[in-house]
Structure 1
């Protein structure tokens, strides 16, 4: 799968987002090494703390299907003119499974930039730090 195709899959998820409070739909698509793709969208809730980001939706779907450490690339997109960067909670959840994950942050026009999770979250805290105790 090409990067552009992965971004397009994430873009398709924008129409499934449930964002009645922020009015900021986000879509995500997580590519695994075997070619499997898990998509996600943000799901908001009137109790704001219960909201789920698109990235974490895709992550949870992948883990629930047995894909925990074979992730290759995550695409994240919104309809905005700026690139859609994962929030801190998403960065932490992703770091748990794949600190060197490749991420495509995209804009509404489907143009994108490539970064790594390590660039977004240097000196992250993960399972390795617990092994050092």
Structure 2
């Protein structure tokens, strides 16, 4: 998976931060969706690689809890965590015991469960 993520970095559109990120979600049926960060001069319009991959799966007809695992690579020698907006999205789309794997550009990785990344997510129950 590391090699796929490294190749995806080339698609990142990050002219402002120069901080390239790639992501791949794997669905329970084995299908994969990829994403890269896409920046915009209006920074609020920027979107992270994790959400691009997750939203691509949803746009293709998948539903919450169809996700098996997510892989993320930041073009950095240090492992960088996903932002909290992405963690919130993961907490709604993935079952709590599913895994996120974060890579550095040297191939080092760490693995966490979704429930460990966002232990107190804002969910649908908060809207009742």
Please report the TM-score for the alignment, with normalisation by the length of structure 1: 0.88
1:70 is matched with which residue?
A: 66
Which consecutive residues of structure 2, in runs of 5 or more, have no partner in the other structure? none
1:57 counterpart (44, 48, 52): 52
The one of 18, 31, 40 equivalent to 1:36 is: 31
Gap runs ≥5 in structure 1: none
**Which residue of the other structure, out of 83, 86, 93, is the alignment partner of 1:87?**
83
Q: Distance in 1 between matches of 2:95 and 2:119?
A: 9
Answer with 33-42 or 82-91: which moved more.
Answer: 82-91
How much is the aligned-residue C-alpha RMSD, in angstroms? Answer: 1.3
TM superposition shift of 1:78: 1.2
Query: Does the residue aligned with 2:105 lie in a helix, a strand or coil?
Result: coil
1:39-72: CA deviations, max 9, x gaps? 0000000000000100000011000011222111
- The residue that corresponds to 2:41 in the other structure is 46
Using the alignment, how far apart are the partners of 1:44 and 1:96 within structure 2? 24
Q: How many residues align?
A: 126
Change in Cα spacing, 1:99 to 1:126, as seen in structure 2 (3 Å) is: farther
